[in-house]
Amino acid sequence: MTVFSTPHFDDHEQVVFASDAATGLKAIIAVHNTHRGPALGGCRMWAYGSEEEAIADALRLARGMTYKNALADLPWGGGKSVIIGDAKTDKTPELMQAMGVAVERLGGRYIVAEDVGTNPDDMVAVHKHTDHVRGVKGEGFDPSPATAFGCFVGVKASVQERLGRTSLQGLRVAVQGLGHVGYDLARQLSEAGADLVVSDMDDAALARARAELGAESVGLDQIYAQDVDVFAPCALGAVLNDETIPKLKARIVAGSANNQLAEDRHGQALADKGVLYAPDYVINAGGVIHIFHEGPDYDKQTAFAHVGRIAETLTAIYERARAAGVPTHVAADRLAEERFGKAA
């Protein structure tokens, strides 16, 4: 088993293997970079096929959080933890408590939150042994409205950049996925005067969007080829790929889904086609920004004003991409690296 020689190792500051025989905990905590502050990142529980897979995931996701937190202008570095196991069958409150002990041992260098396979209840168990946790049930708030608002201001900044207009009135937007984020984004777009085309496998969500937002609904595979100005992926990862990019008629891709580019080269493919891509980890940072503001002193106006700055960050990224002649996801990475001091 290797760490330093895996392709995902990127000078991570610390990688900890944590175990607890009594509860069966087997976890990896990866701290990528703490130049800006403690490393914040979720705890994923997944039935990995091998330990190598779990290490690769922890390293990759921790690095991603450094970039995301830096561009969200948070005083946090990037980290991530993974618990090896099936969240449906292997997870117990005792195991999550043992995870809390493991997090506490890092003395605050890593702050844990929920992720795939964990939830706010699990963070209550973690919280029994450490204060270095966010999104604890009862204290936490739903991050989705903040994520949706960040996407809304991100769409507006992207429209300003590519179409040179400040109003969304009469623009056509295709929203893929009407879940917690997608529906709220669709509602804000509709209120701003945009016309919507939507897709989801949930017929009730589609019916609601038709009735409440006047949206047109189309089949799952039809959403890519719609004659729209903006495509907003709010469902799945890897939706920008060799099959879908040739179909796109939108001049802008801006939505909440994580890991939208199937591969890095698809960012270049979008740029070659003249499509402006709002890097996903920048436009969907509203949730993590909101997590930062949670707590006894929570002030919604302050939190949402911070989320609103996603628009300025995207505009700065677009300017840099234009000046340097690089795709927007490359310009975003470079700006993040300046902010967290990669060279240092």
Residues annotated catalytic, as ranges: 80
Please state the closest distance from residue 282 (CB atom) to ligand NAD, in A.
11
Hey, is 31 helix, strand or coil?
strand
Residue 295: count of CB within 10 angstroms of its CB: 11
- When asked if residue 179 is in the footprint of ligand NAD (CB under 6 A), the reply is yes
Which of 60, 172, 180, 247 is in the footprint of ligand NAD by CB under 6 A? Answer: 180
Q: Which of residues 235-264 bind ligand NAD (CB under 6 A)?
A: 235-236, 256-258
Which of 177, 267, 279, 327 is in the footprint of ligand NAD by CB under 6 A? Answer: 177
Residue 51: count of CB within 10 angstroms of its CB: 13
- When asked if residue 42 is in the footprint of ligand NAD (CB under 6 A), the reply is no
Q: Which of residues 183-202 bind ligand NAD (CB under 6 A)?
A: 199-202
Task: Report the residue number, 94 or 121, with the smaller CB distance to ligand NAD.
Answer: 121
In SS3 terms, 208-252 reads as HHHHHHCCEECCCCCHHHCCCCEEEECCCCCCECCCCHHHCCCCE
How many alpha carbons lie under 13 Å from residue 138 in its C-beta half-sphere? Answer: 6
- When asked if residue 284 is in the footprint of ligand NAD (CB under 6 A), the reply is yes
Task: Report the residue number, 178 or 276, with the smaller CB distance to ligand NAD.
Answer: 178
Task: Report the residue number, 257 or 317, with the smaller CB distance to ligand NAD.
Answer: 257
Task: Please report the beta strands in the chain, taking only residues with DSSP state E, as ranges in sequence order.
Answer: 14-20, 25-33, 39-46, 77-84, 110-114, 172-176, 195-199, 216-217, 230-233, 252-253, 276-277
Please state the closest distance from residue 295 (CB atom) to ligand NAD, in A.
18
Task: Report the residue number, 130 or 260, with the smaller CB distance to ligand NAD.
Answer: 260
- When asked if residue 99 is in the footprint of ligand NAD (CB under 6 A), the reply is no
Q: In this structure, are strands 39-46 and 110-114 parallel, antiparallel, or unpaired?
A: parallel
DSSP code, position 342: S
User: Residue numbers of the site for ligand NAD (CB under 6 A)?
Assistant: 143-144, 147, 176-182, 199-202, 205, 220, 234-236, 256-258, 284, 287
